[in-house]
Structure 1
Amino acid sequence: MDSPHGAAVKAEDFGLKGPRGWAFRGIGLDAAPGSLIAVEGPSGSGRTCLLLALTGRMKPTEGHAEVGRHRLPKKMAAVRRIAALGPVPGVNDLDQSLTVAEQLREGALLQRHYGAPIRSLFRSRAERRATATARIEAALDAAGLDLATLPKGERTTVRDLERLESVRLSVAIALLGSPQLLALDDLDIKLSDTERTEVWALLRSIAARGTTVLAVCSEAPADAVVLRTGPTADDGAPDPEPAGGAAGTPKVTWGTRAEDGAGTGAGAGQDADAKAEAEPAAKADAEPDVKKASGTKTAGPKETAGPKKDSGPKKDADTGAEDGAESGPGTDAGTTDNDDTKGADDALAEAGRA
């Protein structure tokens, strides 16, 4: 398999805002081709959104980024062509009902139809099959997955794979298209410390071959270019301070922007969203008797202390009598016909007794 020169990844004041607030904001990055980039942070801090935005799958709201020679957000389609996704739960999950061989052939078929040059379509069937087989073998070798070690070899179903084997299979499928950028999400979920060490060793070997690697994790290795998402300190800087990369590795520049005097680093959108959701609830608790219907407010409980100021009865200029006095004090224009009928029945009863 060819080893393309990886894509440089740069970002400046990069941010994405969704319906519930900022997923991440103020991200700065300058990573050379072939770098190992780790997005570190707690779950729910916008890590996956940042990964998808840097690979052209989500459109950022502010700032810009460059992947290779392509600038985001204008060249999202071009970035998608050179950036492949490894395991990203909920986005490109493996089909649990397929065997490993079927999953690999499906990946090779999709890559041939959507990623291969047009001239490859004019090759003979035997030549196309041989090319696909060679790509699969090279991808498996790069991902460190030996089919002979699986319980049923290539006929092992995906659901029977261990977590580490599943990660290697997803990486192998992603490498079929010889991407310049490989992205992986939730790298250390359901992995032991030993397996996590093996995965990072795998990603280092892929980066050493020239492919830039972007991985989301809860704890980044010391030799990676680190991006941190999550709550920020009072001065707007990430807390704790990002760790520097290895010698010769570009370091991350993290930026945050203030809005209305408050720090708004990655993860701040969730706090703002929670506050926005809490305000209507608090208002509803403070005014339990106010109901909304079709954009208007209806009157609350009727008062018996006296007539209303706005809709109360008016006095006649000559006699001083009040219009609608039969309604009595404390009633409004919304008196129903049932009340009038009841009053008439009471009057008839009084007349009968007289």
Structure 2
Amino acid sequence: MDHHVDEAPTSPERIRLSGWDDGFTPSGCNGRPGKIVRDFPRDHPGAFATVDGAVSERTADLLYASAVKATVWGVYVPVSELQFENALEASELNQDETEDPAAYRHALARRTVQEFLVQKDAGQCITKSDWERTHGVAVWVIASDCDDETEYHLDYAEQVRYETNVIFPPIYGATLHVSPLHNEVNDKGAATNQVRETSSFEGGGFHVNLTGLPHYDKYGYKTRKQSHRLTTDELETLSRSEPGWKHVAYKYRRGILCDGEFPHFSGRVLSLPSSLADTKSNLPVKRVVVGFNLFPSEIGACVAKFPEHSGAFNRYVKLSQAAVKQTKLLSTTSNKGGWTLKSVRANPKQAAFLLLLARKVRENQQKAAAESSTSKA
């Protein structure tokens, strides 16, 4: 069962599509050769900015509490939902998250984008023209424990890569720190407009290479193009001497914005305090990061259907991987190399699997549509 088209439509004028091999071929793309959309228009190519006090303490604390309880979630915020003047408070945030998790998280993500990327202007890097190019913002949260890390990678539209092996990076990518923690001594004191005391921890910093795609071309997907794959610790050590690297320590309410074509990673969390400096909180201690990708109109609608780290995306990937695995299992020498209408009719297992797959796809599409309509209501 192949939902792909053999011939890709002609690329829009501002899309530059090039052949690309980063050492990884997704299981869902039918072995297609890799390609990449590069040099997409943006007003500040090569952007890199650090913004302290990027969101309010309340927003940071709501994000932290939500992430710690869920560990990970992802949503998509269309630009049409953002208010570039006179932003209003979202009523969903006055309710308990458990009453409607999807609506609550969507409202919280929208509020965060509003504060960090619109009002703070992400270090004055995102222009009005950039927002006009943008369809929406993919937002996700991840709560990490000791020894957790994020390997070297390039951000891109995940579901599009999975199906087509085309890498489409965002216009800009951003990261936000929301745990009341710091890992530099001079960050212990109160930041601008901050009265919260923060606790110290080791590791978990953000590392980005400003060389961009040439560096990713050299290292590849999770450093697969190196003679041996580097651990995150090895890469962190190497980054101290290799040109092009910027290192940003973790700090409560700190935001970082980058050109979407910059590869990056998060260092391994080496230690966490047993409790937070704010003793009023009963939440466990985690290092929480919030991620953002601004996708243009050419690809945004696809990302909106299956935002990375969302339930819809995870169900889609699991189902697709199961389909690929089952196809390989049944396409053996005893099956003479593939599925045909005749073989399906003659093989009850094939027929049953296809019926199950079709039903699951339909159920997931209906569920994703319901979640989308609920979040917009």
Instruction: Tell me the TM-score normalised to structure 2 length.
Output: 0.23
Report which of the two structures shows the higher radius of gyration computed on alpha carbons: 1
